[in-house]
Amino acid sequence: MINTPILVLGAGPTGLMLSAQLHRYGAPHVIVDRKPGVTDVSKALAVQARTLEQYHQLGIAETAIEDGFMAASARFIINGRVRATAQFGEIGAGLSPYPFLFILEQSRNEALLLDHITSRGGSVQWSTEVADLQRNSEGYAGTLKRPDGTSEPFRCRYLVGCGGASSPVRHFLNMPFRGATNEQSFFVADINLDLDLEKHGLLLVFNHSDFFAFFPMPGRNHYRAIGVLPPSIANPDDFPFDLLKAHIEENLGLPAKITHHSWYSAYRVHHRIADSFRAEDAFLVGDAAHIHSPAGGQGMNTGLGDAVNLGWKLAGVVNGWASPGLLNSYSEERRPFGVRLVHTTDRAFTMLVSISPIAQFIRTHILPYWLSMVLRFHKTRRLMFKTISQTVIDYRKSSLSDGSGSRSIRSGDRFPWFEWDGGNSFEWLTDAGYIVLRFDGAEACDVPGWTGPVTTIEVAGKSAVAAAKAGLPNRGVVVVRPDMHVAHILAG
């Protein structure tokens, strides 16, 4: 019998990040997945700046950066010609230590997180399926089933569903997953494409009836292609690659040859969100809680962000330094962002794939030129970075946020990144637990509602000047939550 305070069901990127967070605080838990190991297919590609900031806190951002690459630009091919180029470069300069659009495929993200867990003495129980879930007075119980036919009962106080879109925990909880499924089917394929165009950045291909996107992947001529599945493919669940190859080569509008493919799949795009991300002592995290179109590369990143939000709270409760009431803030803080995301990505995706004449006109005559033009201006570059990088998610309306602070930085905001000669603000945030920043020798302050590991840092000199420029008080105390959001600001 396995008896654990926390059972994490699912070791995709979300479950692995949750386990990494729990290890950060030494919170005992068991994580299981029915797969034999981390995924070996690419799936999500975009890693947003906020995720890299969270990786930095775990000490794995540099490895991620070495493994992946920046998407510096997007070229638009319309009816067979490159008509416009949007330059991204360091689009979020000054806003984040990772001010670029970054590509690192999901399998590499999962491997990175697993290595981190292993380095902390942890492990995942692979090839282990959770079944027969039940609720009892002490928490939850069920069975872990292994491929050799053996099974083992388990009990846990907290159950965390990181099992993806078809989440067994969500089904067990009978939690409504409202939304819809897009009528069209889409394909995704990792291919080698011989193309008479230099390989850099994204290639977005629009013609009157079709849309393809090609994301550069490591290796010569290696791309991830996505697009709408053509009507010639009647059965999305089972079709030969040759049909897809012919469709891409014929409709790209440029002389092109697919010389190799390593993976391809068809899928329906859903946009759905769970009514709540928590029911009693069970939680829904990642795709189990929200699914949406891949437009904007947000799916995996949002799951990772959910896990960062829940991890320290669960660890605090299990380790005894936080009251169980803290767990209410998980759904309260993360669901509003999920709702917004499901709506915005759905609208963006509909525009990209709609066959209406207006949408076709926007795709072929407006969007590429507009995007390449607005990305020349500092303000719109920053706005675009903020919109997709997940660095402006705030928890101002959370019950944990007390309204303290100024108009520019308030309780619940992401702690800002800023630099000074010889340092930067995120160097303060690497210790596990709350960080108390004391500016100009201010007295320590007592903030109701938080306890646990605390690191106190005296801020003075150049760093204090940089902090004031970034909107923080130049006297007083700033308390930062373990997930790098502001808990409290006491101006001196």
Ligand X SMILES: Cc1cc2nc3c(=O)[nH]c(=O)nc-3n(C[C@H](O)[C@H](O)[C@H](O)COP(=O)(O)OP(=O)(O)OC[C@H]3O[C@@H](n4cnc5c(N)ncnc54)[C@H](O)[C@@H]3O)c2cc1C
* Binding site residues, ligand X, CB under 6 A: 9-15, 32-35, 43-46, 106, 129-130, 162-164, 168, 188, 265, 267, 286-287, 294, 297-300, 303
Residues forming a β-bridge with 460 = none
Q: Name which of 298 and 425 has its Cβ closer to ligand X.
A: 298
Q: Could you tell me the smallest distance in angstroms from the CB atom of residue 307 to ligand X?
A: 8
Give me the amino acid identity at 173: L
β-pairing verdict for 2-9 and 151-161: parallel
Q: Name which of 13 and 476 has its Cβ closer to ligand X.
A: 13
Q: Name which of 300 and 310 has its Cβ closer to ligand X.
A: 300
Q: Could you tell me the smallest distance in angstroms from the CB atom of residue 246 to ligand X?
A: 21
Q: Could you tell me the smallest distance in angstroms from the CB atom of residue 187 to ligand X?
A: 9
SS3 478: strand
Q: For residues 218 and 262, is the Cβ–Cβ distance under 8 A?
A: no
C-alpha angle with apex 383: 380 to 385, nearest 5 degrees? 110
Q: Could you tell me the smallest distance in angstroms from the CB atom of residue 178 to ligand X?
A: 18
Q: Name which of 296 and 476 has its Cβ closer to ligand X.
A: 296
Q: In the numeric block, which tokens belong to residue 464?
A: 């204090």
Report residue 309: phi and psi, to 5°: -65, -45
Q: Could you tell me the smallest distance in angstroms from the CB atom of residue 41 to ligand X?
A: 7
Q: Name which of 49 and 478 has its Cβ closer to ligand X.
A: 49
Q: Name which of 33 and 483 has its Cβ closer to ligand X.
A: 33
485 DSSP 8-state letter: B
Q: Could you tell me the smallest distance in angstroms from the CB atom of residue 165 to ligand X?
A: 6
Q: Name which of 303 and 453 has its Cβ closer to ligand X.
A: 303
Q: Name which of 99 and 168 has its Cβ closer to ligand X.
A: 168
Q: Could you tell me the smallest distance in angstroms from the CB atom of residue 123 to ligand X?
A: 15
Q: Could you tell me the smallest distance in angstroms from the CB atom of residue 113 to ligand X?
A: 10
Q: Name which of 100 and 450 has its Cβ closer to ligand X.
A: 100
Q: Could you tell me the smallest distance in angstroms from the CB atom of residue 124 to ligand X?
A: 10
Q: Could you tell me the smallest distance in angstroms from the CB atom of residue 460 to ligand X?
A: 41
Q: Could you tell me the smallest distance in angstroms from the CB atom of residue 296 to ligand X?
A: 8
Q: Name which of 133 and 442 has its Cβ closer to ligand X.
A: 133
Per-residue H/E/C for the chain: CEEEEEEEECCCHHHHHHHHHHHHCCCCCEEECCCCCCCCCCCCCEECHHHHHHHHHHCCHHHHHHHCEECCEEEEEECCEEEEEEECCCCCCCCCCCCCCEECCHHHHHHHHHHHHHHCCCCCECCCEEEEEEEECCEEEEEEECCCCCEEEEEEEEEEECCCCCCHHHHHHCCCEEEEEEEEEEEEEEEEEEECCCCCCEEEEECCCCEEEEEECCCCCEEEEEEECCCCCCCCCCCCHHHHHHHHHHHCCCCEEEEEEEEEEEEEEEEEEECCCEECCEEECHHHCEECCCCCCCHHHHHHHHHHHHHHHHHHHHHCCCCHHHHHHHHHHHHHHHHHHHHHHHHHHHHHHCCCHHHHHHHHHHHHHHHHHHCCCHHHHHHHHHHHHCCCCCCCCCCCCCCCECCCCECCCECCCCEECCEEHHHHHCCCCEEEEEECCCCCCCCCCCCCCEEEEEECCHHHHHHHHCCCCCCEEEEECCCCEEEEEEEC
CA atoms within 13 A on the CB side of 46: 22
Q: Name which of 127 and 380 has its Cβ closer to ligand X.
A: 127
Give me the amino acid identity at 275: D
Q: Could you tell me the smallest distance in angstroms from the CB atom of residue 473 to ligand X?
A: 37
Q: Name which of 35 and 222 has its Cβ closer to ligand X.
A: 35
